[in-house]
């Protein structure tokens, strides 16, 4: 390897090192590696047998940021493993606002289980997801409308406030 290109497989192996400082350094270096580390990290998360490893890999993907969103969503749609999905979803939630639109798009086309996970991701993202979820309250599909309502309710105060505002704005007798 040249000095410009990090040893991605070696850094991924370091995520299992008993020394926490080695693991933390690997997370930072994998995050800084950017896009070249995304597919290997996701693959490693999918085959991992322990959640500690998944946690460190998920944190590296968070540091990669927005470029990791689409590959994470694709992997979530392909892999039904609850352990993998939990950590991949946590990565999306921590990436935050840049993940909202792609997660909303996946939310509207996914199966029930995937939609449930994506609702949790949107809840964890919080306020940046409120307006896109609120827009789904007018969707033609009653299942999507219902799921968007439930996600807003689960979000707590910002989501509930959006539901109340939507309800009040739809009543011509309320001013």
pTM for this model (two decimals): 0.89
pLDDT at 106: 96
Sign of CA dihedral 103, 105, 110, 115: positive
Per the CB < 8 A criterion, the answer to whether 127 and 97 are in contact is: no
> Which CATH code for domain 99-175?
1.25.10.10
> Does 171 have pLDDT greater than 70?
no
CB contact at 8 A, 103 and 94: no
Burial of 167: CB neighbours in 10 Å, binned 0-12, 13-18, 19+: exposed
For the chain, where do the domains classified as CATH 1.25.10.10 start and end?
99-175
The crossing angle, in degrees rounded to 10, of helices 82-95 and 38-47 is 150
Burial 79-104 (b: 16+ CB within 10 A, else e): eeeeebbebbbbbbbbbbebbbebbb
CB atoms inside a 10 Å sphere around CB 40:
16
Please report the pLDDT score of residue 107 as a whole number.
94
Helices (H), 15-64: 20-33, 38-47, 51-64
Per residue in 61-91, pLDDT tens? 999 999 999 999 999 999 999 999 999 999 9
pLDDT in tens, 7-29: 999 999 999 999 999 999 999 99
Is 1-95 a CATH 1.10.357 domain? no
- What is the structure's pLDDT at 168? 75
For 26-48, the pLDDT digits (tens) are: 999 999 999 999 999 999 999 99
């Amino acid at each position: 390897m040249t000095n410009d290109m990090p040893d991605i497989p070696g850094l991924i192996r370091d995520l299992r090192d008993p020394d926490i400082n080695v693991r933390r350094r690997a997370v930072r270096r994998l995050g800084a590696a950017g896009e070249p580390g995304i597919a290997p990290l996701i693959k490693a998360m999918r085959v991992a047998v322990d959640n500690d490893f998944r946690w460190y890999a998920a944190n590296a993907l968070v540091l990669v940021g927005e470029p990791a969103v689409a590959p994470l969503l694709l992997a979530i749609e392909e892999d039904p493993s609850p352990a993998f999905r939990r950590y991949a979803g946590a990565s999306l939630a921590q990436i935050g606002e840049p993940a909202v639109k792609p997660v909303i798009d996946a939310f509207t086309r996914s199966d029930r289980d995937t939609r449930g996970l994506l609702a949790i991701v949107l809840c964890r993202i919080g306020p940046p997801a409120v307006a896109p979820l609120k827009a789904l309250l007018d969707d033609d599909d009653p299942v999507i409308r219902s799921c968007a309502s439930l996600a807003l309710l689960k979000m707590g105060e910002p989501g509930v406030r959006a539901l109340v505002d939507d309800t009040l704005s739809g009543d011509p007798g309320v001013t």
